[in-house]
Amino acid sequence: MKLENRIAIITGAGRGIGRATALAFAREGADIVLAARTETEINTVAKEIEQFGRRALPVKTDVQYKSNVDAMVTQTIDTFGKVDILVNNAGVAIHNPIEKIREEDWDLTMAVNLKGVFLCTQAVLSHMYDQNYGHIVNVSSVSGKYGHVNGGSYCASKFAVIGFTETTNNEGRRYGVKASVVCPGPVDTKMRRDNHPDDVIENLTQPEDVADLILFLVSQSPRAHTLETVIRTPLM
């Protein structure tokens, strides 16, 4: 198994890319900490993981709050003794033209999509540094590669995640810690459907496609590292 005895924290783990990644990791031998705001969702995913014979720890977490994040990581260490992998996947998307973006929507987008990545990364780094091993994967977006119409706050947050990932990797590599960023195009998730109800679902990348890539990144040889990957949707 590619991830046997690894401990992975996945945020936004109750649905979509987060759930698919949690299940992909569990199939390869990892035990999973499921962090998300909706307890019912992560409890359901935990039961799915246990069917693979792996351990799952669902922790209600709102990544925009340091107290939530620190408590979640502390619970991880208390339960499993270490953390090997962090997948920063939690996110929100609120689309409006710049002149109509509400300040509270801007602040929420930055708090979840960017500050949450920072807080979770900061909380695990000392543990990863001490063990001279770790891999952090941040889920950005193709919206972090170009600024699209009505994407002022979302694009800004996702551009920033890419830069933060590069810094995390450059600071961490002397301690054996890698960081990677994944930039998917349109993916068939609830968030995508809510914002783009007219999408042809059959044309969308599936969460499992992204999960397979994340699994590849964290199971690469210690001699290899992929910093950034863009996933295009060929039919859109």
The residues annotated as belonging to the active site are 154
Structure tokens that stand for 107 in this block: 């602040």
Cα separation, 8 vs 146, in Å, equals 30
Tokens of 147: 């600024």
**Residue 45, amino acid:** V
DSSP string of the chain, one letter each residue: -TTTT-EEEEESTTSHHHHHHHHHHHHTT-EEEEEES-HHHHHHHHHHHHTTT--EEEEE--TT-HHHHHHHHHHHHHHHS---EEEE-------B-GGG--HHHHHHHHIIIIIHHHHHHHHHHHHHHHHT-EEEEEE--GGGTS--TTBHHHHHHHHHHHHHHHHHHHHHGGGTEEEEEEEE-SB-SHHHHHH-TT--GGGSBPHHHHHHHHHHHHTS-TT----EEEE--TT-
Distance, in Å, from the CA atom of 135 to the CA atom of 211, rounded to the nearest integer, reads 15
